[in-house]
Structure 1
């Protein structure tokens, strides 16, 4: 099998060898095992289902959380010459969806969101098709998003029970023991094989900097990006602040755009493509941005707040330095940020009054959309309550949602403690996910001692080396094509 895998790897992807963990994951899939694979960002998770797709007889279903992620994966496969790939999503017109459903079995790689997967026509079609592999990409979203604003993640098990079940691969860069259990349960995995690589990225260097007031944060961010170049991502908590930062920095001559869920889908896709194509150097975003953005040379990830969880923080800073070059994750915070993060994280979570209002309305036969139009409930409230009240009694639902809300608060406390105590940031993040840090790089973090000037100098040299390697690879592939 090993020789065959290396042959497919070279013929389809142009690589001579696997990255750490990839071959073992692929072998488990081909042995028809359910697999939970945890690989750090930039370590080639996509190849773990793309390569088996060329060996397995039928299609691969990829459950993906974001339109941007789907589109990026589709484009990557098309660049490799694969034509049998499609994203079945809301970008398609009703007529396009109908046409695609009629010929879905022609495709090898089919990308869908959990919500699209739950649509009746799609479920019926997939039940009639042979499927060789099901992939949950960014599988931590099952646990992170499923319990509240995207409950269709928790319905995946119901769908899986109605199909001829192939092996399942769950892919993510970060997962605690609890999240792994959530993934296994909701994907109805059968004694899954775990493949876990260290999530530590030695080339990412951490800094946590306390600021005396909210008003001074922008000035510190401005100084940061004036002193040390991008490309980079600035993460903030509000859509308004993302727009304000982007406008102020644009006025000062930086090539930057904002990105958040309040923007039209097309506009968001446009900003992402500008960033990937080096037409802009910076994106100022809420946490809506970043997943699936395969940009290798992100040099800085800047936060102006306490993230909502250690897992979210690890995902966001992990987008830096995919090329292996030194990169900086710097976070500016004030003592007031804890309360602000708790408010923002829990503000759209239904409380007991929302739950009782929704329950009474349903019993009266009212459409929940009326409550949204009247401003009494949000769309998120309705999604959450539709899921839970269909499965639990009202008092059980109240208790469950109160517990989930408290968990969100505790996750912010965990993140705050990592920033505020005197212990190594890197070590705390690694240990949070149940792993052990074997060694620390030079300039590890602001708690251990950090010389940012040294990082920038070494980064420039490493980038020059990578560009040379890139040209060598291109020449090699060119001669391969001639042969």
Structure 2
């Protein structure tokens, strides 16, 4: 049967999007595959269609609970009943039942942490899987080394012998990240499909300010006059709360979103944004992965992103419908130092290495460091991983190297702020690609006309159409230079 016929039978499409068919053909041949497809290019179909052809369980390792739950809900809406998410949303009884009947499901979503649990591994080893998918595979490199080291253990669990093919999916990845993915997943000469990271319909802006409060004043004015839906990214939970509160007082339909909120509250806010009940979200980078909203018109970075990969992922949430969208990067003097501080603030330090060794010497569990308030849970995960991989002196060197890389990554983002050349070209080059064409109104440095992209808020005749945005921004930039 032709793949197009299967595509039409199960999904109602007559043609594949770029890259989908090549990826699927290699998966069906039993080949390991790394696929980089931009947001909105249909990455999930690359494992869903093989799942129907193989008719054996597909295991999808997914980084976020909200992401996997969203994917499960979407599949159920399309009448797929044999799909399950094995995660902490299940109570102990539900978890036991799910694991017992796991072999009956066609699509099994699981977190890296759940995958490492011994009873889950025993069940999976008793099953014949058709495919292992690592969704948002860039997290292996971006998160594994300094946030969730369990990502680095996925390859150990999967093994190399008698396993099905692995499909690693992401929207963006540098050459280094691609190497990390291949290495840590123990992939066997994977076929690689690398789509251009460029999104021509996302127009890149940047604005410079003397002080951080000036940025907030600008956001208040801008959001009150221009149309969403939009996302405003900040680097602190308190900032999301205060800024969203000010916008609400100004009559803007918005909500705060950050990792410290209750998971159900986060899901509720996310769904409100998706269905249009909220026009704006003010969020930390905890928001966005797996948010399938087609018509996001603006992404504003109130704070400097911690690295170029995060920036690319976050602006990629705009314009999934292919229509013109705007990404504006705001900068005030000293933002880079704050970004560096945030980046390394929750890292283990030499004193933590000493304490860890002390607990071991007393035959006590080093994890007691968390309960005793000596270290955060995130920092301990990082410390514990490396203490079981390297000698103590090497761990100290590794932690120092990781901190240096974090600070260097912020400097790379600063190149977007400092450059007078095309922002799009610099961004694409960072990911090891070349820019073939520049769209009209490409970016701030190419003389973008904001008035052609931004529109005034609907149902508000008091605001003039923003055809003069370019002039106003140039005046602000001149005043801050």
Which bin holds the TM-score, normalised by the shorter protein? over 0.9
2:398 is aligned to 400
Output aligned runs, 1:321-470, within 5 Å: 321-456=319-454
Cα distance, 1:347 vs structure 2: 0.4
2:314 is aligned to 316
2:270 is aligned to 272
Taking a change above 3 Å as real, the CA distance of residues 297 and 455 of structure 1, as seen in their structure-2 partners, is: same
Equivalent residue in structure 2 for 1:263, among 256, 261, 264: 261
2:191 is aligned to 193
1-side partners of 2:255 and 2:433: how far apart? Answer: 36
2:158 is aligned to 160
Which has the larger displacement, 282-291 or 158-167?
A: 158-167
Note if contact 1:127-1:162 (Cα within 8 Å) is conserved in structure 2.
Answer: no
Note if contact 1:326-1:459 (Cα within 8 Å) is conserved in structure 2.
Answer: no
Note if contact 1:127-1:164 (Cα within 8 Å) is conserved in structure 2.
Answer: no
2:144 is aligned to 146
2-side partners of 1:239 and 1:94: how far apart? Answer: 31
1:298 is aligned to 296
Cα distance, 1:163 vs structure 2: 6.9
Note if contact 2:227-2:455 (Cα within 8 Å) is conserved in structure 1.
Answer: no
Note if contact 1:199-1:430 (Cα within 8 Å) is conserved in structure 2.
Answer: yes
1-side partners of 2:209 and 2:365: how far apart? Answer: 47
1-side partners of 2:166 and 2:150: how far apart? Answer: 17
The answer to whether 1:86 aligns with 2:104 is no
Note if contact 1:36-1:192 (Cα within 8 Å) is conserved in structure 2.
Answer: yes
1:327-382 deviations in Å (ceiling 9; x for gaps):
00001111210100000010001111121112212221233343223321111121
1:75-133 deviations in Å (ceiling 9; x for gaps):
11111110000000000000000001110011000000100100111011000000000
1-side partners of 2:424 and 2:341: how far apart? Answer: 27
Output aligned runs, 1:185-264, within 5 Å: 185-264=183-262
1:477 is aligned to none
The answer to whether 1:6 aligns with 2:7 is no
2:16 is aligned to 18
Note if contact 1:327-1:459 (Cα within 8 Å) is conserved in structure 2.
Answer: no
2:127 is aligned to 129
Note if contact 2:225-2:457 (Cα within 8 Å) is conserved in structure 1.
Answer: no
The answer to whether 1:61 aligns with 2:59 is yes
* TM-score computed with the length of structure 1 as normaliser: 0.93
The answer to whether 1:169 aligns with 2:164 is no
Note if contact 1:257-1:283 (Cα within 8 Å) is conserved in structure 2.
Answer: yes
Cα distance, 1:216 vs structure 2: 1.2
2:71 is aligned to 73
Note if contact 1:126-1:163 (Cα within 8 Å) is conserved in structure 2.
Answer: no
1-side partners of 2:156 and 2:416: how far apart? Answer: 38
Note if contact 1:204-1:326 (Cα within 8 Å) is conserved in structure 2.
Answer: yes
Note if contact 1:326-1:458 (Cα within 8 Å) is conserved in structure 2.
Answer: no
Note if contact 2:228-2:457 (Cα within 8 Å) is conserved in structure 1.
Answer: no
Matched position secondary structure for 1:86: strand
- Which structure 2 residue ranges, 5 or more long, are not aligned? 459-481
Matched position secondary structure for 1:368: coil
Cα distance, 1:162 vs structure 2: 7.7
1:240-262 deviations in Å (ceiling 9; x for gaps):
00011111111111111111111
2-side partners of 1:163 and 1:191: how far apart? Answer: 14
Matched position secondary structure for 1:456: coil
2:471 is aligned to none
Taking a change above 3 Å as real, the CA distance of residues 379 and 120 of structure 1, as seen in their structure-2 partners, is: same
Note if contact 1:296-1:321 (Cα within 8 Å) is conserved in structure 2.
Answer: yes
1:470 is aligned to none
1:98 is aligned to 96
Matched position secondary structure for 1:146: coil
The alignment's C-alpha RMSD in Å is: 1.5
1:423-479 deviations in Å (ceiling 9; x for gaps):
21111111111111001111100011111111136999xxxxxxxxxxxxxxxxxxx
Note if contact 2:61-2:111 (Cα within 8 Å) is conserved in structure 1.
Answer: yes
Cα distance, 1:390 vs structure 2: 1.1
The answer to whether 1:181 aligns with 2:195 is no
Note if contact 1:211-1:334 (Cα within 8 Å) is conserved in structure 2.
Answer: yes
- Which structure 1 residue ranges, 5 or more long, are not aligned? 461-483
Matched position secondary structure for 2:446: coil
Equivalent residue in structure 2 for 1:287, among 285, 288, 294: 285
How many pairs align?
A: 458
* TM-score computed with the length of structure 2 as normaliser: 0.93
Note if contact 2:55-2:106 (Cα within 8 Å) is conserved in structure 1.
Answer: no
